[in-house]
Amino acid sequence: MNSSIVKLPNKYELVKDTLVLILAGGRGSRLYELTDKRAKPALYFGGNRRIIDFALSNCLNSGLNRIGVVTQYAAHSLLRHLQNGWSFLPAERGEFIDMLPARQQIDDSTWYRGTADAVYQNMAIIRDHYCPKYILILAGDHIYKQDYSQMLLDHINSGAKCTVGCIEVEREKASEFGVMAVNENLKVKSFVEKPKDPPAMVGKPNTSLASMGIYVFDAAYLYDVLEREVSSPYTSHDFGKDILPKALEEEVLYAHPFSRSCMGRNTEGEIYWRDVGTLDSFWQSNIDLVCETPQLDIYDQSWPIRGNPVQTYPSKFFYKKEIARPVDNSLISGGCVITDASISYSVLFDRIKINEGSEIDHCVVLPQVTIGKNCKLKRCIIDRHTTIPDGMEIGVNLELDRQRFRVSSGGVVLVTQSMLKKLNGEDVASEAHLD
């Protein structure tokens, strides 16, 4: 027997040796008022889920049940969601979803200073308590389905110490990402973070290879590079800006194409991955779900997306008048009461009341919203706990809407209860709804 042959771990051994860290502390500033009260990963999605449910469900479906969620900004809603909906893993099997909030561990004034620093400040706990061999780092704010165990296997087979998940994007949009070039073995040969002029892929002049913000590290290498980086006087404490360039310099950085592990493809059979970091992308990703053949199949039980839906009564539709198309191509969650209203191409979350004569078209309506009589809403996002007064039209006259609400670059109107109160000259300081 050749003793030089290295025995590779099987998938079962690999997932048991892996700790997942979901970075869920981001502000989500491009979502404006939608993230005033909640961290971006806690934002509602798809009728009865939250954005972080996709990363968590991908972990469980991949067999990865040792998970830490790193939180910081406006974390209350997110922590309640994790406690109420994701606290079922059996500790006796070494499985868990632990919460790792910012604890100012360096000194009493230092919060997480970047993505890499969020891991560094938890490194003692990771190394001494969890004791992983591999660390998978995820963003908590993307919509996609992925088998992470395949990425882990590719990491081992390549001999990498750091593997970055990558996806092909249009070159004109690539300036929002870290962009890389790879050789025939997927070894990364160059990497630049958010370039103004993104380099194109070889043979694909209109396409760039972009980082998804998903990383696999050998734990020992990650500890070492973080220790070295934290003392650098010029560091940004960021994986894309600092850690990946260091791994590239040391020739241990490899890429993993998302197409190899994608478990959710669109109607054309192409991979589906969305960063819902803007009002337009959040609105569009929700609307993607309502057509006959949706861009992302949330009904696919072969790769289920778990969540924490609230207990509600069934939704009720009551029509006293003849309406040609009362409900058309829409997702409507539980506990809604719809009376003589028209709803088309919209996503309605739970416990929504829509009164007679109102028209809802291409809208995303978050939980516990009341819409009055004879309202007309088009291309809107309505935040939770909002009451739309009788007769109000939104999305019909964007010039008027810009004076009252927030209108995105794509013409989507965001409406919150605070905006409506300001419109009526009311005090908004007393608002204290739990999200």
- What are the pLDDT digits (tens) for 299-319? 999 999 999 888 899 999 999
Average pLDDT over residues 117-125: 94
Average pLDDT over residues 12-37: 90
Average pLDDT over residues 17-23: 97
- pLDDT at position 28 is 74
Which residues have a Cβ under 8 Å from the Cβ of 122 and sit 6 or more positions away?
21, 68, 70, 100, 105
The greatest distance separating any two alpha carbons of the chain, rounded to the nearest whole angstrom, comes to 83
**pLDDT category of residue 1 using cuts at 50, 70 and 90:** very low
pLDDT at 370 over 50: yes
Least confident of 2-16, 192-206, 409-423: 2-16
- The pLDDT tens digits of the residues spanning 295-304 come to 888 999 999 9
332 within 8 A of 349, measured Cβ to Cβ: no
Average pLDDT over residues 49-67: 97
- Sign of the dihedral defined by the CA atoms of residues 54, 150, 301, 167, in that order: positive
**pLDDT category of residue 323 using cuts at 50, 70 and 90:** confident
pLDDT at 428 over 90: no
Average pLDDT over residues 48-53: 96
Annotated binding site: 112, 178, 193-194, 211
Least confident of 18-22, 23-27, 254-258, 277-281: 23-27
* Residue 70 vs residue 425, higher pLDDT: 70
Backbone phi, psi, residue 257, to 5°: -65, 130
Mean pLDDT taken over the chain: 92
Percent of the chain with pLDDT over 90: 79
Average pLDDT over residues 256-282: 91
- pLDDT at position 113 is 86
Relative to beta strand 207-218, strand 178-182 is antiparallel
Tokens of 41: 């990963």
Burial of 207 (0-12, 13-18, 19+ CB in 10 A): middle
pLDDT at 256 over 50: yes
Burial of 433 (0-12, 13-18, 19+ CB in 10 A): exposed
Percent of the chain with pLDDT over 70: 95
DSSP track, 240-262: IIIIHHHHHHTT-EEEEEGGGTB
- pLDDT at position 118 is 93
Instruction: Tell me the whole-structure pTM to 2 decimals.
Output: 0.93
pLDDT at 391 over 90: yes
- The pLDDT tens digits of the residues spanning 276-292 come to 989 999 999 999 999 88
Which residues have a Cβ under 8 Å from the Cβ of 37 and sit 6 or more positions away?
74, 77, 433, 435
**pLDDT category of residue 245 using cuts at 50, 70 and 90:** very high
Q: Coil, helix or strand for 282?
A: helix
Residues 180 and 13: their CA atoms lie apart, in Å, by 31
- The pLDDT tens digits of the residues spanning 85-114 come to 999 999 999 999 999 988 655 555 567 888
Residue with tokens 């003793």: 3
Tokens of 175: 């300036």
The packing angle between helices 76-85 and 52-61, to 10°, is: 30
- Residue type present at position 17: D
Relative to beta strand 393-394, strand 387-388 is unpaired
Average pLDDT over residues 29-56: 94
Annotated binding site for alpha-D-glucose 1-phosphate: 112, 178, 193-194, 211
**pLDDT category of residue 431 using cuts at 50, 70 and 90:** low
Tokens of 69: 């969620």
